Structure 1
Amino acid sequence: MIRPVVLAVFLAAGLVGLAFPSQAVELAPYKDSLFAYPALLSSSDGGRYRVVDYREMRDINGRDAIPERRVKDDYVSLRVRASQQQYALDGIRHYAVGKIDDASIVTIYLHGQGGSRKQGVDDFTFGGNFNRIKNLMVRNDGLYLSPDFPDFGESGEAAVAALIDYYGRKSPQARFFIACGSMGGAICYRLADNAGVAARLGGLILLGSHWDDGFINSAAFRARVPVFIGQGSRDTVFPVERQEAFFRSILAADANYPARFVRFETGTHGTPIRMTDWRETLNWMLGQR
């Protein structure tokens, strides 16, 4: 049994062969006009590759009451905090927002280097985008998780896989959507090659993250798990050109693979976390499986 901020039992059974309902869930709107992408500058590959206009003066200074620290009140609803609890599973501390049992959908955010579970539930930073995903999950009978994990390697993968296993047992019909910020992508790719986890995945969302040339040999690729890549054109940590090449390599391996790339023109490393449209991305992924 899982309890607030206490140790819970580690569950480790495989998940291969699970059946899911054929009818897709579609997330209902929530503040769509505020979080919709700005102007589309260009599009190719049938809309799978898009370049979105991003302007710091508009999308940070015009959106935040205190730039990069507190978004304007219109962008958030704090009622969602009533559905937010902190737990520990086998010592892995995490926040859970929404339905613990029988959730329709589960979204997990994995932070990058120097981050923590607190980043993914901060209502006011990154333009209120974490508050939006929390509200989308709660308002659609879903669950949102933001965990700590010990590293970006084997131990981190095991910790997140344990969360997926535990909450998967509590919501056996739900698919899991894993969003990875920056170095969190290392765990995304590890999970993609975990056959038990891949059987539950509804999508991978890479936000200012990196590439993995081995992805095309992973269990998730074979299962055609949708992939979204959001990248700033001025990302100095993980260059956009390298991520674009990774996206192209996916399409080269499977021309019809469900992959999308959004390039935020003039955006930097953290821009995709601020600007990615959660509802559009998740609804697209939900429609693929």
Structure 2
Amino acid sequence: MSTIVFSVGCLLAAVLFPGITASAEAEPLRPYKDALFGYPGVLREEDGGGFRVVDYQELRDINGRDQIPERRVKRSYVSLGVKSSQADETLDLGGRSLDVTRVGPDRGAAFTVIFIHGRGGDRRLGANDFSFGGNFNRLKNLAVGNGGTYYAPSVRSFDAAGVADVAALIRSAAERSGGRPVVLSCASMGSFICWGISRDQQAAAMLGGMMVMGGVADPAFEESAAYKARLPVFFSHGSNDSVYPAEAQVALYRSLRNKDYPARFVLFETGSHGTPVRMTDWRDALNWILER
């Protein structure tokens, strides 16, 4: 990326949100139940740790973790005190209404995470404490425990209208936090929202990074505003995903890494379509993004 492109991107962010430059010095998130949620074992590493193949075993990581498999995690994985910081809201975002679950303060967040669900979901999926092995409960606790805010919106469509809704939420979150980092995470079909946001110059300028979990690959990403701004992208995927095959996403990662682009990939060996939402280590991924 040229110095001119970098300077223009930084100037736009600084003009829109004067606090954005300070966000580059964000402190890493403190541990929270890392022994339970850390990756169970790294089978292989490449690119200096940029690409990791992580051990995944259904009998251990679902049956051994859940009280009711795929429906309710064991109690030791969740801490429900965080629900005192949780609220369901309908936000008016410049004339666009959006139903969200917010966890954490609505002003002054040290960082913000936005999770976009896939087809058939709504805000309840990203707010469920007990599904997906308790991983959303951990994200809530990581956010609140580190002064951040987490949003789980109900996305009504995965087209231009849905992208516009999420762009408005990104802008609101950035304004309310004084320009501190906003991380957009998208699962499954929700990845269409991430790739759409990557083409929106203003929305991309407000982001600190993106996470794509079990999503579709975007062959045109390298033409986007986010790519030109070198927005960090974290990928996680199951090697046996039958909805969006992992090979396409791995190929995109390889292309980005070959251009020295800030990208990271976690591949869950034998994992299926829903595995990344259950198994992605939020603290590991967010620290990598925030430290960029």
TM-score in terms of structure 1 length: 0.92
Q: Distance in 2 between matches of 1:41 and 1:166?
A: 40
Q: Show the counterpart of 1:156.
A: 162
Runs (5+) with no aligned partner, structure 2: 1-11
Q: Distance in 1 between matches of 2:14 and 2:244?
A: 33
Question: Is structure 2 residue 249 aligned with structure 1 residue 243?
Answer: yes
Give 1:278's match in structure 2, choosing from 272, 275, 282: 282
Q: Distance in 2 between matches of 1:75 and 1:119?
A: 17
Q: Distance in 1 between matches of 2:290 and 2:48?
A: 18
- 1:88-147 CA-to-partner distances (Å, cap 9, x unmatched) read 123210010001110000000000011111000000000000000001000011000000
Give 1:128's match in structure 2, choosing from 129, 134, 151: 134
Deviation at 1:241, TM superposition (A): 1.1
Identity %: 49
Aligned partner letter, 1:103? A
Give 2:89's match in structure 1, choosing from 87, 90, 95: 87
- 1:197-248 CA-to-partner distances (Å, cap 9, x unmatched) read 1111111111111100111111111111111110101100001111111111
Deviation at 1:16, TM superposition (A): 6.9
Question: Is structure 2 residue 120 aligned with structure 1 residue 119?
Answer: no
- Aligned residues of 1:54 and 1:265 also touching (Cα < 8 A): yes
Q: Distance in 2 between matches of 1:193 and 1:42?
A: 33
Give 1:233's match in structure 2, choosing from 223, 234, 239: 239
- Aligned residues of 1:25 and 1:104 also touching (Cα < 8 A): no
Aligned partner letter, 1:76? V
- Aligned residues of 2:240 and 2:246 also touching (Cα < 8 A): yes
Give 2:114's match in structure 1, choosing from 108, 112, 123: 108
Question: Is structure 2 residue 135 aligned with structure 1 residue 137?
Answer: no
Aligned partner letter, 1:283? N
TM-score in terms of structure 2 length: 0.91
Q: Distance in 1 between matches of 2:179 and 2:218?
A: 29
Runs (5+) with no aligned partner, structure 1: 1-13
Q: Distance in 2 between matches of 1:170 and 1:20?
A: 16
- Aligned residues of 2:25 and 2:291 also touching (Cα < 8 A): no
Aligned partner letter, 2:267? R
Q: Distance in 2 between matches of 1:167 and 1:52?
A: 33
- 1:9-43 CA-to-partner distances (Å, cap 9, x unmatched) read xxxxx967433204222111100110000111111
Q: Distance in 1 between matches of 2:234 and 2:144?
A: 22
Question: Higher helix fraction: Structure 1 or Structure 2?
Answer: 2
Q: Which shows bigger deviation, 73-82 or 212-221? A: 212-221
Alignment of 1:1-289 (within 5 A): 17=15, 18=17, 19-21=20-22, 22-90=24-92, 91-252=97-258, 254=259, 256-288=260-292
- 1:232-287 CA-to-partner distances (Å, cap 9, x unmatched) read 011000011111111112123x2x21101111001000000000000011111111
Distance 1:34 1:243, change over 3 A: same
- Aligned residues of 2:173 and 2:182 also touching (Cα < 8 A): no
- Aligned residues of 1:16 and 1:199 also touching (Cα < 8 A): no
- Aligned residues of 1:16 and 1:195 also touching (Cα < 8 A): no
